[in-house]
Chain A
Amino acid sequence: MSLLSSQRTFPLLARNQFRVSLRQMQFKQGWFMRIVIAVMMVYSAFILLTLGFFFDRFSIQLWPNTTPVDVVNRSLLAGFVSLFFIRFLFQKTPRMKITPYLHLPLQRRDLILFFQSASLMSIHNFYPLLFFIPFWMRYVAAEGPLSGHLMWISAVCLLIVASHFANLLLRSTLRHRAGLFYIWLSLFITLAFIDETAGIGLQQRISEFLFGSILSGDFTSLALLASFMGFVVVASTVSLFRSVKGMGEASAPEQSLVRSFDVPEEWGVLGQLIRMELLLMWRNRRPRHYLFVSLLFSTMYLIFMLSTGGSISAAAFAALLGLFASGGFVLNYGQLMFGWDSTHYPAMVTRNVPFHEMVRAKLIVLQLSCLLLFLASLPLFIWFRPDLVPLHFAFLFYNAGVTTILILELATRNSQRIDIARSGGFFNYEGFSAKHWLWFIPTALPPVLFMQVLSGSPRVALVSLAGLGLVSILFSRGWTRYFARGLHHRKHSMLEGFSSRES
């Protein structure tokens, strides 16, 4: 069979992708969530535009002796690293979109080129421009030669595109070598930490030099950026080619994952359920990455937070610190506690597995994770901020008692299927919808408000939070019954949701 020409392939794919996008927009979210998301998008667009147009009014207060352009120039590299991090959490790779077309008489080259290009139509690429374009028009255009202005905005665009493809490249590479990610990330955080705490400011100096020279019309710096972008575009495309080539080939089972452990027979079905929760985490790609990322949040990220000295003076900030230090896993992984079971939920609900035992096992795992993360991050608190150790203790109880309950409340309402073993992107948030991100707000708000209101007497605040958590832990049996009733009530809607695959 002859393959379809590129001229016919691209319009065909464009039409189909348009239909898919339209369908996703129609069915993926309810009206309430659509309104909430729309409001948030408009709000953040407004913030970016305002910042872009009136940057001097903000920068003069923080950096009175520096021009807005200099402030932005020296922050650009750090800004793009942050953008890259956000992309890493949210952006999806085009790999899985290509799969349904592979059996059709279409050239793989066309498929890859189309989906690589189409992936640029992402909010992550357009939103930064809402700040940069007005900033460029208002401030950059007033400095340096015309060629310099044009080169400066081109450099910003090049960096956005480079950040886009670098993310695709990283995700594609990590599918096969996930261990590398942790090494690189640890190295990066350590270097950034040294740069920040030792007062070297190397990153800022490089950024200022690079963008300052571009603005003054130095073509070499722009060429350097263009080369970097070219490299990541080519590398990510080649990586996608390789990845697509390997699709459909049977992969050897990962024998290292088969390690197991026994639970005492007397623990009955509860022991089996706890063991299954732990095996699920270990033997499946997606839950495993959630686990590692939570550990990273509770250790490496904490180093940054704790080492920034006086900046953690605000009570609200301290509350967030306490929440994530021991509750990072609960907040990340816990929301999908039942979604992880979606592919085999019928196996659970047709067997003699009482809902309250299912909930109990999950609650125990979540509460234990708080204790483990507490222990993992305790040395960091002792080393950097011994004065915050009481806060860490108080939030151990609060997270184990209250945060777990709030998160399970959402988890029992999640009916989106997650194919836990499917080898999608490295850090795929399938099953994690806007609702889940928004749930961080009511989860984080009570302790933040509490700490804020009682900021005059922090000891009272911490004792109260710990007490609240302890009382809630003591009422675990009651919570278990409550969630079991909810699961029984929502059983059919969950089964229906879990059985429908994402388009």
Chain B
Amino acid sequence: MRVELNKIRKIYGEKIALDVPAWSLDDGEVLGLVGSNGAGKTTFLRILLDLLQPDEGSVRIDGRELALDTAWRGRTGSFLDRSFLIEYLTIPEYLEFVGATLGLTKREMSDRLGEFESFLPLSRVDQNRLLRDLSTGNAKKVGILAALFVHPEFVVLDEPFANLDPPSQIRLKDILVSMAAEPGRSMIISSHDLGHVTDVCGRITLLESGRIQRDIKRSESTLADLKDYFAGEDVSSAT
């Protein structure tokens, strides 16, 4: 999937939340979105998922205007926050619903979920627990699993490593690396964890104050460069 942002602007009062003249993500590209708090990462992702209407500009997926076309929804797996969960459902009910939206049979769902057994062992979780009764970390695992198990062409994840225990972080990173290697899959992962992002993503976009400051291909020095950049950042500017 090719994603394009064209002259996007989102303004709250007098504050520019996002100002992106031109940006694109090619088919098969895996991008890490980094930036300080309030840099505009979540606004960027919400506009990308058509959850937020930009004041100006347009988003296109495979050349088609996002707001006018809904076909992208069937090819996209996303998880930004708990509002992506339906919290009065149990884990199996929620996953069944997600599978049904893509026409998957129970058998197909079971097979695909089996691929993620190391990340979230469904056979060992309480099947009768409602999502709202799960801890933040476990709820996040369910959300990420729901975004990934449908084998989407386009993956959008916001802070996927936050609140996860270290083993889950490692397993998730492995899963994302292996999914990224599959042809035709594009991914955007927003994270404050520079190490994980540079491990998984081949391209990094750095946002500050709603504007893209850097858009670079990953190299051996990327992690060190990013660390240097953020070490010199004035944290007060972001708030």
Residue numbers of A with Cβ under 8 A of B are 253, 255, 257-258, 260, 265, 268-269, 271-272, 275-276, 279-280, 283-284, 343-347, 349-354, 420-421, 491-492, 495-496, 499
Contacts and interface: CB of A to CB of B under 8 A. Distances in A.
Given A253-B129, A253-B133, A349 B50 contact: yes
Given A343-B87, A344-B85, A346-B84, A495 B52 contact: yes
A283 B97 contact: no
Interface stretch (B1-9, B72-80, B192-200): B72-80
Given A343-B83, A350-B78, 10 more contacts: A253-B130, A257-B130, A260-B93, A265-B106, A269-B100, A276-B86, A279-B89, A346-B49, A350-B76, A352-B102
Contacts, number: 85
A420 B131 CA distance: 14
A255 B129 CA distance: 8
A276 B97 contact: yes
Contact of B73 (A253, A268, A351, A492): A351
Given A257-B130, A258-B90, A265-B106, A492 B52 contact: yes
A279 B93 contact: yes
Interface in B110-143: 128-130, 132-133
Nearest to A346: B83
Contacts of A491: 50
A345 B83 contact: yes
A101 B161 CA distance: 33
Contacts of B101: 269, 272, 351-353
A230 to B, nearest CB: 40
Contacts of B88: 279-280, 283-284, 420-421
A353 B97 CA distance: 10
Contacts of A284: 88
A49 B100 CA distance: 60
B73 A352 contact: yes
B90 A260 contact: yes
- Interface size class for chain B? 35 or more
Nearest to A271: B100
9 contacts: A253-B133, A257-B130, A258-B128, A279-B89, A280-B88, A343-B83, A347-B83, A421-B88, A492-B51
Interface in B48-64: 49-53
B86 A347 contact: yes
Contact of A421 (B83, B87, B103): B87
A353 B106 CA distance: 18
Please list the 10 inter-chain residue pairs (A to B) with the smallest Cβ-Cβ separation, ordered nearest first.
A352-B74, A492-B53, A352-B101, A283-B88, A253-B133, A272-B100, A346-B83, A258-B128, A344-B86, A352-B73
Contacts of B78: 350
Contacts of A420: 88
B91 to A, nearest CB: 11
Contact of B87 (A255, A344, A349, A492): A344
Nearest to B101: A352
Q: Taking each of A257, A268, A346, which has the highest tally of chain B beta carbons within 10 Å of its own beta carbon?
A: A346
Contact of B51 (A253, A272, A279, A350): A350
Contacts of A272: 96-97, 100-101
A349 B100 contact: no
A279 B100 CA distance: 17
B25 interface: no
Nearest to A282: B88
Contacts of A257: 130
Contacts of B85: 344, 347
A372 to B, nearest CB: 21
A287 to B, nearest CB: 9
Contacts of A253: 129-130, 133
A233 to B, nearest CB: 35
A500 B33 CA distance: 26
B51 A495 contact: yes
A41 B183 CA distance: 66
Contacts of A269: 97, 100-101
A235 B93 CA distance: 42
B24 interface: no
Contacts of B93: 260, 275, 279
A350 B49 contact: yes
Nearest to A341: B86
Q: Taking each of A343, A352, A492, which has the highest tally of chain B beta carbons within 10 Å of its own beta carbon?
A: A352
